[in-house]
Structure 1
Amino acid sequence: MDVCPFVPIRNVDMDTCIQLAGEVGEIIAADYEIPIFLYERSASSPGRENLAVVRKGEFEGMKEKMLQAEWKPDFGPDQPHESAGVTAVGARMPLIAYNINLGTPDLEIANKIARRVRHGGGGLRYIKAMGVALQERNIVQVSMNMTDFTGSSLYQIMEMVKAEARRFGVNVVGSEIVGLAPLEALTNAAADYLQLEDFRLNQVIEARLLDPEE
């Protein structure tokens, strides 16, 4: 399954991205006869918001999946393209890949913490998490994807993982952001930690210089 996300980064809002996703999805379906599923903020029903749910079955199982009435595509034919399969198109917030390392080689502890942290297990909203073994370092990590940093902050995630780790007598020994992250996500984490009141992004010198009219 190919995925085509529209992400508001600068000088564009989410509503515009939702509109673009719908228009592009319709064009792809018409021009290439590929079934299109709208996901995340563009989803036509709540069951299609989560990309993992849309992808379930992958290429091999998609034909049978699409026989179900609830999995009729938003645009295009009712069966996968012979070579291209199906495509998911949607508007979403910037995704942040954030991993927290634990001072233990016990993968089960990381998995238990991941289950408590992720939204599907009753944890923080917009968080997907799983345990991963870092065998070369003899430690494990809670590996997470943040699908909307405005709903749960980096600081909140760190504090929750720390609290859960303490229950197992384990310390957090570091963390990492994989790839890019929005400046606002980092300043939000700092503001939460420092308990800043009425803090705004344009109080950061570099941000103010980039947007002097803000």
Structure 2
Amino acid sequence: MSEPRLRVTEIFYSIQGETSRVGLPTVFVRLTGCPLRCGYCDTAYAFQGGEWMTLAQILAAVAAYALRQVTVTGGEPLAQRDCPALLTALCDAGYDVSLETSGALDIAPVDKRVARIVDIKTPGSGEVERNLWSNIEQLTPHDEVKFVIVDEADYRWAVELLRQHRLAERCEVLFSPVFGKLQPRQLAEWILRDRLPVRLQVQLHKVLWGEEPGR
């Protein structure tokens, strides 16, 4: 049997701008392709193209940076059949691994050592109907849920879901404003007003470098 291969858009080194790992120097493996088309997507360049790489080639590229933190992202990483194999290989190699996924695909096959960052799509994304709700039952305290908030209607929708599913009792919950569309201060004021058990997330990499690709 041939070694698994994945189509990779880029492997790069930067500051983690999101999740509870914000601020940590991290190696990012950005896989190519995504079945979703969110209205605020900032990585459309990863929809197509990329380079086919074996697991060994990817691990060698990651090892060259000599860091422990690794994030597999996209696009939508789980759209590639061999993504779970890559995640397990990274864990076996001793890395602290996180996965950024849209939540539209089943997270059950992902190695439990991986921190699964599940982006639940709000109505403002244009892809709310793609959410795979069974993923909520899969969440553990090791995982995180992210809501990308476009406006106040999105915020109210996310709060209802937060309470309905008791998400903050399952794992850490992140509320993130869409860069350039919703002011972080406004979202912070809503969170404080409603005393929500969530973490306000501001995309640190965009504060530092703006919309520059590969950051």
Give the structure-2-normalised TM-score: 0.27
**Rg bigger for which structure?**
1
Q: Which has the higher helix share?
A: 1
Give the structure-1-normalised TM-score: 0.27
